């Protein structure tokens, strides 16, 4: 048998000595088996040693029944307790086993073989319990001391059952205040929830009202289907840095575009207008009139194209808001007479609703999508729709043109420009198209 300290709590000295003798016959040292007859004596033993196994009679000099087990278990919480039961308290013994007791033995059936088997299992269980306790301690140390915010979540609503110090510091609540709350309780948009994915981005509100953007990564615990350890990654500063970087790039690009637009309008544009005036003052010979008209038409076309390029580089109406710019953009296209540009904007939407939106890049994206449709779709109608659902804006640009095969689309400069602007402005998008059935671009932000 393994070396172990065994405490016999039994006020029947004859029976206690019998058990002590039986234990020595199966390999235990006599001095490692200590009999006591009361809780008080057990307290005195505790000053000298911690038993590995306790053989416990429930009815002793100073205690009886379940109270005896509770007292012993409080004194020696790490020991394996085996109840020595008489026929009259067998039901209580079973109750104690359900509370955490290792086993119960009927006194009338105690023999060395039964004792050996029960103590062996008790020691094994004690070993496993110690390993489990150490494992839980290491887990809790890793969890609590992690520099990354971590929470344990349970159930469909992802209720916080554990939280570490880093999570408390991130949200600005004490750990006690976090416990029992759903992780969704901090969401700015309450409808934003996990679906099938295990990583999702949320805009959340801290205790002081500050908004943060976090990625929450779920890791399911093996033992439970609806229990997760979640890592909360604060992306606010990173995204702010990226936005500032893109803003600087964007400002530089737009500065260059404004410069080019002014040069086209005030420089090349004015020179072409002057050239056209001078040309119109010329009187061609009869045999050159046809060529003269062709050249005049080319000059007029170049002037118009230069103005169009300058306008697209620097649309003045955008300074009066996105709604105004889209309305003017639609009017300009409709005046061409080649295609119908229809606006379907939710009447409840106002310009001020777009306060947090990068309206300049949004306009440029819409402009690029529409220009692509004008050039390639051979459409008769383009529809622009805009609405807001649960705080999310949706923009749809749909045409009834020839469509295209998404698998074979080539990433030209226009599409690359759209992707670049979407990344800069945190606008998401999707494209659907089928040959002969037109195309649809959906943007959301």
Average pLDDT over residues 381-386: 91
Q: Provide the pLDDT for residue 161.
A: 92
Average pLDDT over residues 111-121: 85
Q: Where is pLDDT greater, at 117 or 420?
A: 117
Topology at the third CATH level for domain 146-234: Beta-Lactamase (3.30.450)
> Would the pLDDT of 121 be above 70?
yes
> Would the pLDDT of 2 be above 60?
no
Q: Model confidence over 210-258: pLDDT tens digits?
A: 999 999 999 888 765 688 999 999 999 888 877 676 667 666 766 777 7
Q: Provide the pLDDT for residue 383.
A: 92
Q: Provide the pLDDT for residue 208.
A: 95
Average pLDDT over residues 42-63: 90
> Would the pLDDT of 172 be above 90?
yes
For the chain, give the percent of residues with pLDDT over 70.
89
Q: Provide the pLDDT for residue 87.
A: 63
Q: Provide the pLDDT for residue 179.
A: 94
Residue of 389, 443, 396 lying closest to 419 (CA atoms): 443
> Would the pLDDT of 402 be above 80?
yes
Q: Provide the pLDDT for residue 214.
A: 94
Q: Provide the pLDDT for residue 32.
A: 87
Topology at the third CATH level for domain 320-445: Heat Shock Protein 90 (3.30.565)
> Would the pLDDT of 31 be above 90?
no
What architecture does CATH give domain 6-142?
A: 3-Layer(aba) Sandwich (3.40)
> Would the pLDDT of 122 be above 90?
no
Q: Provide the pLDDT for residue 267.
A: 73
Whether the CB-CB separation of 400 and 427 falls below 8 Å is answered with: no
Q: Where is pLDDT greater, at 380 or 254?
A: 380
Q: Model confidence over 322-363: pLDDT tens digits?
A: 888 888 888 888 887 788 889 999 988 888 887 777 777 788
> Would the pLDDT of 168 be above 90?
yes
């Amino acid at each position: 048998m393994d070396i172990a300290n065994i405490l016999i709590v039994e006020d029947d000295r004859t029976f206690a000595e019998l058990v002590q003798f039986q234990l020595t016959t199966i390999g235990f040292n006599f001095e490692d088996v200590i009999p006591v007859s009361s809780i008080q004596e057990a307290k005195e033993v505790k000053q000298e040693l911690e038993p590995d196994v306790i053989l416990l009679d429930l009815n002793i000099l100073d205690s009886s029944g379940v109270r005896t087990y509770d007292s012993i278990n409080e004194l020696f919480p790490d020991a394996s307790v085996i109840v020595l039961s008489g026929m009259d308290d067998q039901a209580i013994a079973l109750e104690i086993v359900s509370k955490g007791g290792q086993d119960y033995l009927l006194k009338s059936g105690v023999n060395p073989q039964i004792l050996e088997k029960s103590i062996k299992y008790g020691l094994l269980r004690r070993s496993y319990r110690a390993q489990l306790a150490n494992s839980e301690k290491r887990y809790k140390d890793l969890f609590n001391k992690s520099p990354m915010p971590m929470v344990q979540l349970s159930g469909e609503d992802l209720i916080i059952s554990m939280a570490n110090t880093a999570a408390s510091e991130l949200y600005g609540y004490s750990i006690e205040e976090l416990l029992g709350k759903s992780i969704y309780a901090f969401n700015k948009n309450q409808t934003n929830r996990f679906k099938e994915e295990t990583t999702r981005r949320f805009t959340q509100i801290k205790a002081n009202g500050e908004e943060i953007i976090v990625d929450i990564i779920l890791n399911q615990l093996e033992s439970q289907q609806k229990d997760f350890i979640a890592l909360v990654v604060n992306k606010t500063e990173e995204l702010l840095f990226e936005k500032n970087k893109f803003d600087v790039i964007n400002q530089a690009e737009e500065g260059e575009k404004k410069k080019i637009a002014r040069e086209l309008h005030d420089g090349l544009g004015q020179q072409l207008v002057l050239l056209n005036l001078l040309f119109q003052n010329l009187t061609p010979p009869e045999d050159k009139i046809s060529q003269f008209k062709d050249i005049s038409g080319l000059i007029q076309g170049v002037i118009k194209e230069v103005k169009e390029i300058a306008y697209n580089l620097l649309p003045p109406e955008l300074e009066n808001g996105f709604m105004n710019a889209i309305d003017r953009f639609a009017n300009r296209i409709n005046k061409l007479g080649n295609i119908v540009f229809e606006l379907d904007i939710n009447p409840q939407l106002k310009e001020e609703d777009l306060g947090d939106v990068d309206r300049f890049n949004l306009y440029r994206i819409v402009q690029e999508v529409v220009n692509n449709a004008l050039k390639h779709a051979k459409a008769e109608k383009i529809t622009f729709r805009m609405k807001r659902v649960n705080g999310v804006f949706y923009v749809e640009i749909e045409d009834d043109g020839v469509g295209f095969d998404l698998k074979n689309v080539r990433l030209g400069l226009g599409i690359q420009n759209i992707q670049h602007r979407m990344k800069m402005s945190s606008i998401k998008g999707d494209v659907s198209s089928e040959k002969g059935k037109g195309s649809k671009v959906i943007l959301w932000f």
